[in-house]
């Protein structure tokens, strides 16, 4: 299929291309910065309105929680970890795709990452913001959250360094800090573009302050490249370490269904699986709404779907191994736990999880599904649900029916559990829409390296 026979229509992207034809430095800059500098489309207001409404739901739920305590949730003994911890793991997992795209794919010189890395990094940040709230809300007395940090205090105490929950504090806060820095450093050249193109003085000033005096000189670019490379190097281990430590929250304990050595790799694969699903969930509507088919091409969607398929298979292997371990260990409690997962009170969640995370993602073997925006969008939604169910299965079914049948109990989330979850979408969407409105959602200067003009001086060299 050569596009030579067709009339020069800018919207027809040849298959396999990572940028549409006929793009120039100027057209890339115009297109991406227009989303920020031009009139706000009606769709943005609708999306932002939905986000803000859900954010109000979140505030209401938090108001209830702070007023009446964690008793408004359905958690009890034995299920002391409920939706709050499920949501924490779910959100933090989603963040991993952004870091993978921005760090590992950068180091591997995967140039197709260019058009999706900016908003994937933003998604990481906002997902980590949502995730980070949950353990703090879970404390019951969130105003004492600073006790998690080791600092010379008047109590003569340090946090328990042998507890994975403390490792979590370091893992998540490091992750948030490095992600923020990486995202911000990557934004600086584009902030300078917005400063120069902004039509009013206030915009010039605000973008100017955050551009930190960027003039695009050779020494600026040199330092920029060094900083990016260093941050990519710092972020790379984080892709693996953060969710490994999150999995330790479970694996280090002795609860049947948690105490498994496969947890770290299985959690990391699940995180990337859910993260790419979320990137696709966001990218597909954005691409349609802002007409970005030239920048986020079918090749991108295809690549993301392949990553989902690969990590989905690892996750499926994890589920298989969980069942196998229970059988092979010959441990009564492990076997009973697995048996109850298959047939117990929460069996619906387990089979729904298998449907969402193992069966439906097999559709991604077909190129027709991978390159069909609606099909891929639906599969990505299903995966998001499936990964949430996975954490539900792990957290709830393991706790509800542990060693002693006399201490078993059924956890039912209350309306405040659900509204705290639904509400966190409000925080996520509000931040995401503010980001889309005020910052370039695709890296302008990196996209410029993909256009034919950049090839003259050997665009291959540019990472």
Partner 1 sequence: MGMQVFHRSTNVISRVTIFGGLFAVVGALFLLAAINRSPWATRQGIAREQPVQFSHRHHAGELGIDCRYCHTTVEDLAYAGMPTTQTCMTCHVQIWSDSEFLEPVRASWRDEKPIRWIKVYDLPGYVYFDHSVHVNKGVGCQSCHGDVDDMNVLWQNPSLHMEWCLGCHREPEQHLRPRDQVFSMSYHPPADQLSLGLQLLAEYDVRPRTECGACHR
Q: Which is nearer to partner 1, 11 or 153 (CB)?
A: 153
Judged by CB under 8 A, the residue of 113, 138, 195, 391 near partner 1 is: 195
Q: How far is CA 155 from CA 140, 152, 166, 337, 339, in A?
A: 20, 9, 17, 40, 46
Q: How far is CA 459 from CA 64, 274, 281, 455, in A?
A: 55, 32, 30, 5
Two tokens at 339? 């048996």
CA angle, 389 then 92 then 401, to 5°: 40
CB of 208 to partner 1, least distance (A): 5
Size of the site for partner 1 (CB under 8 A): 15
CB of 213 to partner 1, least distance (A): 7
Judged by CB under 8 A, the residue of 8, 157, 218, 456 near partner 1 is: 157
Judged by CB under 8 A, the residue of 104, 204, 362, 410 near partner 1 is: 204
CB of 151 to partner 1, least distance (A): 8
Cα dihedral 296, 298, 302, 303, rounded to 10, equals -40
Judged by CB under 8 A, the residue of 6, 205, 222, 367 near partner 1 is: 205
**Does the footprint of partner 1 cover residue 220 (CB under 8 A)?**
no
Q: Which is nearer to partner 1, 67 or 154 (CB)?
A: 154
Judged by CB under 8 A, the residue of 11, 153, 163, 253 near partner 1 is: 153
**Does the footprint of partner 1 cover residue 208 (CB under 8 A)?**
yes
CB of 38 to partner 1, least distance (A): 19
Q: For residue 254, which of 331, 321, 182 has the smallest C-alpha distance?
A: 331
By the 10 Å C-beta count (0-12 exposed, 13-18 middle, 19+ buried), 141 is classed as exposed
78 preceded by cis ω (within 30°)?
yes
- Judged by CB under 8 A, which stretch of 38-46, 66-74, 151-159, 359-367 contacts partner 1? 151-159
3-state secondary structure 171-191: HHHHHHHHHHHHHHHHHHHHH
**Does the footprint of partner 1 cover residue 201 (CB under 8 A)?**
yes
- Cα–Cα distance between 237 and 242 in angstroms, integer? 8
Q: Which is nearer to partner 1, 199 or 368 (CB)?
A: 199
Q: How far is CA 375 from CA 116, 158, 363, 382, 427, in A?
A: 19, 51, 9, 11, 27
Task: Name the maximum alpha-carbon separation found in the chain.
Answer: 78
Judged by CB under 8 A, the residue of 156, 219, 330, 458 near partner 1 is: 156
- Judged by CB under 8 A, which stretch of 56-64, 99-107, 177-185, 195-203 contacts partner 1? 195-203
Q: Which is nearer to partner 1, 71 or 216 (CB)?
A: 216
**Does the footprint of partner 1 cover residue 149 (CB under 8 A)?**
no
Note the residues at the interface with partner 1 (CB under 8 A): 152-157, 195-196, 201, 204-205, 208-209, 212-213
């Amino acid at each position: 299929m050569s596009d030579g026979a067709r009339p020069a229509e800018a919207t027809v992207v040849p298959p396999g291309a990572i940028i549409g034809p006929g793009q120039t430095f100027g057209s890339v800059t115009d297109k991406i910065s227009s989303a920020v500098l031009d009139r706000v489309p009606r769709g943005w207001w609708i999306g932002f309105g939905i986000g803000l409404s859900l954010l109000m739901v979140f505030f209401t739920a938090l108001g209830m929680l702070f007023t009446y305590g964690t008793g408004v949730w359905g958690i009890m003994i034995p299920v002391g970890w409920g939706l709050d911890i499920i949501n924490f793991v779910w959100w933090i997992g989603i963040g991993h795709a952004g870091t993978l795209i921005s760090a590992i794919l950068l180091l591997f010189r995967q140039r197709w990452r260019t058009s999706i890395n900016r908003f994937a990094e933003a998604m990481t940040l906002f997902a980590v913001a949502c995730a980070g709230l949950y353990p703090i809300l879970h404390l019951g007395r969130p105003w004492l959250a600073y006790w998690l940090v080791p600092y010379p205090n008047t109590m003569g105490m340090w946090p328990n360094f042998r507890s994975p929950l403390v490792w979590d504090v370091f893992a998540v806060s490091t992750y948030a800090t490095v992600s923020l820095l990486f995202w911000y450093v990557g934004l600086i050249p584009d902030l300078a573009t917005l400063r120069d193109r902004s039509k009013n003085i206030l915009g010039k000033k605000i973008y100017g302050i955050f551009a930190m005096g960027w003039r695009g000189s050779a020494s600026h670019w040199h330092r920029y490249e060094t900083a990016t490379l260093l941050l990519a190097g710092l972020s790379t281990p984080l892709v693996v370490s953060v969710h490994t430590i999150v999995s330790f929250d479970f694996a280090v304990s002795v609860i049947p269904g948690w105490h498994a050595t496969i947890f770290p790799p299985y959690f990391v694969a699940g995180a990337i699986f859910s993260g790419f699903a979320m990137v696709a969930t966001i990218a597909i509507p954005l691409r349609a709404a802002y007409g970005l088919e030239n920048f986020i091409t079918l090749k991108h969607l295809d690549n993301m779907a392949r990553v989902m398929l690969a990590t989905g298979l690892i996750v499926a292997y994890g589920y298989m191994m969980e069942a196998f371990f229970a059988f092979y260990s010959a441990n009564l409690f492990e076997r009973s736990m697995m048996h109850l997962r298959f047939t117990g009170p929460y069996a619906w969640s387990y089979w729904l999880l298998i449907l969402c995370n193992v069966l439906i993602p097999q559709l991604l073997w077909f190129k027709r599904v991978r390159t069909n925006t609606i099909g891929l969008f639906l599969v990505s939604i299903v995966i998001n649900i499936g990964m949430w169910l996975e954490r539900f299965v792990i957290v709830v079914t393991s706790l509800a029916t542990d060693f002693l049948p006399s201490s078993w109990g059924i956890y039912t989330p209350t309306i405040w559990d659900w509204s705290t979850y639904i509400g966190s979408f409000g925080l996520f969407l509000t931040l995401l829409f503010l980001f889309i409105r005020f910052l370039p959602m695709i890296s302008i200067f990196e996209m410029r390296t993909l256009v034919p003009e950049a090839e003259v001086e050997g665009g291959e060299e540019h990472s």
